[in-house]
Amino acid sequence: MKIVSDEIRKFDAEKVALKATREEFVSQWGALGSQWGINRTMAQIHALLMTSHEALTTDDVMEELAISRGNAHTNLKELIAWGLVRTVVIRGERKEFFEAEKDVWEIARTVARERKRREIEPALGVLRECMEKSRGWESPEARAFFKQMRQLEEFVSFASKVADQVSGMKHGFAVQLAAKLLG
């Protein structure tokens, strides 16, 4: 009987430690969210779902993160739009369940693709529009402006193409390429 009791205590202690560690991760992942162009709550929901061993409902997310239904719902919809979270149907359940992509490489590819669509492509559009408007202007200031826009557009286009190539690679090949470049 003592062995069973000891194992239950060990299991309970592990459960408490896991909850605290997970909460710390969710908090830190939320803080990193602004670095990726998403808000703190959206990143925290992503972290919560990414580290959950089962799909969660909106109510589960609200309870775990102490956020409102509207906040949870809005951020879950946005995570779905990003392609980082999907809705899961559980037979016999009326509630919606959500789960996050767990493959780290796929998460990185998805974030890169979405950031490109939301940030890089609009920036390229502005640069190209500025180039088109200033093409052929003769003043020294206008020529310098055009030259700067062209250089920025070339750099951002190049960086975008490199990101496309890397995000399109299989994980193993990308790691091998990175090792060669860094080694």
pLDDT at 168: 77
Domain boundaries, position 160: 104-182
Boundary (domain end) residue, out of 100, 125, 146 = 100
pLDDT of residue 179: 65
Tally the domains of the chain. 2
C-alpha span between 147 and 132 (Å, rounded): 12
Question: Looking at residues 100-125, what average pLDDT do you find?
Answer: 88
**Which pLDDT band holds residue 178 (cuts at 50, 70, 90)?**
low
Predicted TM-score (pTM) of this structure: 0.76
**Domain boundary, last residue among 70, 100, 130:** 100
> Do both 126 and 168 map to the same domain?
yes
The verdict on 76 and 137 lying in the same domain is no
Do 96 and 109 fall into the same domain? no
Least confident of 43-47, 146-150, 162-166: 162-166
Query: What pLDDT is stored for residue 12 in this prediction?
Result: 81
Residues 53 and 108 in one domain: no
State the pairing for strand pair 56-57/85-88: unpaired
Q: Which of 44, 68, 100 lies at the terminal end of a domain, its last residue?
A: 100
Residues forming a β-bridge with 56? 98
Q: Based on the fold, state whether residues 167 and 113 are members of the same structural domain.
A: yes
